[in-house]
Amino acid sequence: MKRKTLAIITVITLAFLAVSQASALPGQQEDPGQKISGHWEGAIELPGMKLEIQVDFRLSAEKKLEGVISIPVQKAKDLPLENIKIEGNEISFAISGVPGNPIFKGRLEEGGQKMAGNFNQSGQSFPFNLNKGENPVARARKALEGIDEVINKALTELKVPGLALAVIKDKEIILIKGYGLRDLENKLPMTPDTLLAIGSASKAFTTFALARLMDEGKMSWDRPVRTYIPWFKLSDPLITERITPRDLVTHRSGLPRHDLVWYNNYDISREEIVRRLAHLQFTADLREKFQYNNLMYLTAGYLLEVLTGKTWEQAIKQLVFDPLQMIRSNFSVLDSQKDQDFAQPYAYRNKKIEKIPFRIITNMGPAGSINSSVREMSNWVMVHLNDGKFGEAQLLNRATMEDLHLPYTPIAQTPTTIHLSTSSYALGWFIDHYRGHQRIHHGGNIDGFSALVSMLPREGFGFVVLTNRNATGLPELLVRTLTDKLLGLEPVDWIGEAVRNQAKGEEVAAQAEQKAQTRRIKGTRPAQAVEEYAGTYFHPGYGELKVVLRDKKLSFIYNGISTPLEHWHFETFNGLRGDDPTFENMKLTFETDVNGLVAAVAGTFEPTADPIVFRKKPDEKFYDPAFLKKFTGKYSLMEQVISVDLKGEVLTMTVPGQPVYELVPVPGDEFTLKQISVVRIKFIVDQKGEVIGLEASQPGGVFEYKRLSESPEKKLAK
């Protein structure tokens, strides 16, 4: 019996169910089809379980009774019914296109408000019951009455300038509205059409576009990335060969965030960022654990570019925006500011709301640069709630859409409340359960904006919350509040609790900031004169960091962000607040080499990895052939004569009986031998700037060579 039951459930799972409802009662003149039209909810009584079903009947323009059936637990929606028949109180209807001839045969009861009977399929019969109820959309709208007051109060108490909200039920928007202000200075209201940054909620657009290519046979989630990008390389050669597109987008690559590689970097291309991955430290093995990583999503976006031959922006527009009619959505805050309706970015600092500059993150677009409105984002939610279908277009195969929502990477974190389950990560989405109801969601946070896209797939609800304040938890708190109302759950005062905790949090943060001073060792001084720390430092993954001296004070510049420095203790300096506070309280520690020269600077640019060490670069003139030419010539010590020559932009040294050595510039206006780095070469210059010799420093001592005078003929030739 168990096997047969399971087979039936499987058939229903694969079917599109459509239900039609009962006929008119005896003696009534009302059209039976009109009497039964409406929404019905109930269940099929399978052995050991109730299979919940929803049936909707309606009269077509031709007065023909039509119906559809949905089974939420099996993600079957709007399956068509056929052979709908009403005779007196008797009703029957079948599910179209389902094996086993599934038929409902029942009887109307209680004045046509209930239906009961048997569901028959493949020779087996199970009882079913249906109750006529309120249309789900109308019921949902009624449940949200009074929400405006809740939201407006939350904006005030949680210090958020404005918020735009859309609530979707299946294929219909049931609430869409703007609250507060999109521009405080000019008192401009937030609207459903205001453009705001959605931040990391952009990630699901990248996976959706790649999934469309997979449906076309142009990509596999599970073939190595090097299949499509042959030069792709990571610092771990084994991971390089094995990592797949699915690994890129499920945060299980083994690479930590390393976000400062790209943050505020406007000069580097996406390809160059991908190439820099070869120099970044791993902190876990491939597929070992969840580690959120924007760079892997950048790589997935670059893969989309390789596969389509278009930019990521062009590919997203073609594969996602255009079919979803997302006309005003864009990829840069610069484009948003050209629109008539966009939000300004704000942050909450020092107990007040401050307007902050827009942050351009176009290079990292595949991970988070999309800007949109809640109206256009509603279409995005609908395609996910409806198995990849939007309007009449099936944009993704149903199985492909389901794959996007499957949990692939468990997240080892304890839930913050008993009402939440542990989480996993799918392909561009977080998956968890809120009070027993599955959620698919992703937030987004970028300077001045906080966003959340969230769905309850079984219940068919979707939410888009966009705000113009940095790092506010209001979107998540509001979605929980809305969920409680829509599902009729015992309410939890999520927003009120956050308001009560806000003041405590600010107090704790202030105390922590004060205690940071206790980690400082007093009475120390730098080992070098302050000008010795100035220079350009380089890391192959993170690029250049410049330390500059102005008015006897140091500051450092990284990715265009200038940060003043104060001496903290010993060789460590502390970042002070600049125009851009990104590196405030960042500690930089300088390192000296065996010769006592400042050779490197290290900082915790990635908190979960080792400090990032930037090596000091020689002065740029040591890469200039015109400058290097003056060092060429012959140098003598006792009977040994060595020759220094210029080959292209590189000095070489020829020692009799030995291979030719390449001279590599190092800090301190010196060179090392590329083949024997322990040997250092320093050219000796007199007061007139003439090169008169060189010193070769090696473990056995320092040997001084005198430069041999050139013949009159050679001088004349020069």
Measure the CA–CA gap between 498 and 380, rounded to whole angstroms: 29
Strands 114-121 and 65-71, bridge-based pairing: unpaired
Distant-in-sequence, close-in-space partners of 77: CB < 8 Å, separation ≥ 6: 16, 70, 170, 386, 387, 460
Q: In which region does residue 673 sit, left (phi positive, over 0), alpha (psi from -120 to 50) or beta (all else)?
A: beta
Measure the CA–CA gap between 54 and 439, rounded to whole angstroms: 20
**Identity of residue 203:** K
**Which DSSP symbol is given to 289?**
S
On the question of a common fold for 147-459+473-502 and 530-617, the answer reads no
Model pTM score: 0.89
Q: What does the angle CA 525 – CA 528 – CA 533 come to, to the nearest 5 degrees?
A: 110
Task: Inform me whether the pLDDT recorded for 6 exceeds 50.
Answer: no
Measure the CA–CA gap between 321 and 308, rounded to whole angstroms: 16
Q: What pLDDT, on a 0 to 100 scale, did the predictor assign at position 21?
A: 36
pLDDT band at 24 (very low <50, low <70, confident <90, very high): very low
Lowest mean pLDDT, pick from 154-168, 476-490, 494-508, 658-672: 494-508
Q: What pLDDT, on a 0 to 100 scale, did the predictor assign at position 29?
A: 52
Mean pLDDT of the chain: 92
Distant-in-sequence, close-in-space partners of 103: CB < 8 Å, separation ≥ 6: 83, 92, 93, 94, 95, 119, 120, 121
Distances (CA, A) of 155 to 184, 352, 475: 13, 13, 11
Instruction: Work out the average pLDDT over 403-408.
Output: 98
Q: What pLDDT, on a 0 to 100 scale, did the predictor assign at position 8?
A: 40
Instruction: Work out the average pLDDT over 187-193.
Output: 98
Measure the CA–CA gap between 212 and 404, rounded to whole angstroms: 11
CATH of 147-459+473-502, one of 1.20.1250.20, 3.40.50.150, 3.40.630.10, 3.40.710.10: 3.40.710.10
Q: Can you give the residue ranges of every domain in the chain?
A: 2-133, 147-459+473-502, 530-617, 621-717
Instruction: Work out the average pLDDT over 689-700.
Output: 93
Q: pLDDT tens across 550-604, in order?
A: 999 999 999 999 999 999 999 999 999 999 999 999 999 999 998 899 999 999 9
Q: What does the angle CA 37 – CA 43 – CA 11 come to, to the nearest 5 degrees?
A: 100
CB 36 within 8 A of CB 22: yes
Task: Inform me whether the pLDDT recorded for 636 exceeds 60.
Answer: yes
Measure the CA–CA gap between 566 and 557, rounded to whole angstroms: 14
Q: What pLDDT, on a 0 to 100 scale, did the predictor assign at position 396?
A: 98
Share of the chain above pLDDT 90, in %: 84
Task: Inform me whether the pLDDT recorded for 342 exceeds 50.
Answer: yes
- CATH class of domain segment(s) 621-717: mainly beta
Architecture of domain 2-133: Beta Barrel (2.40)
Instruction: Work out the average pLDDT over 176-201.
Output: 98
Q: Which residue has the higher pLDDT, 639 or 128?
A: 128
pLDDT band at 458 (very low <50, low <70, confident <90, very high): very high
Measure the CA–CA gap between 60 and 481, rounded to whole angstroms: 38
CATH of 530-617, one of 3.40.50.2020, 3.40.50.360, 2.40.128.50, 2.60.40.1930: 2.40.128.50
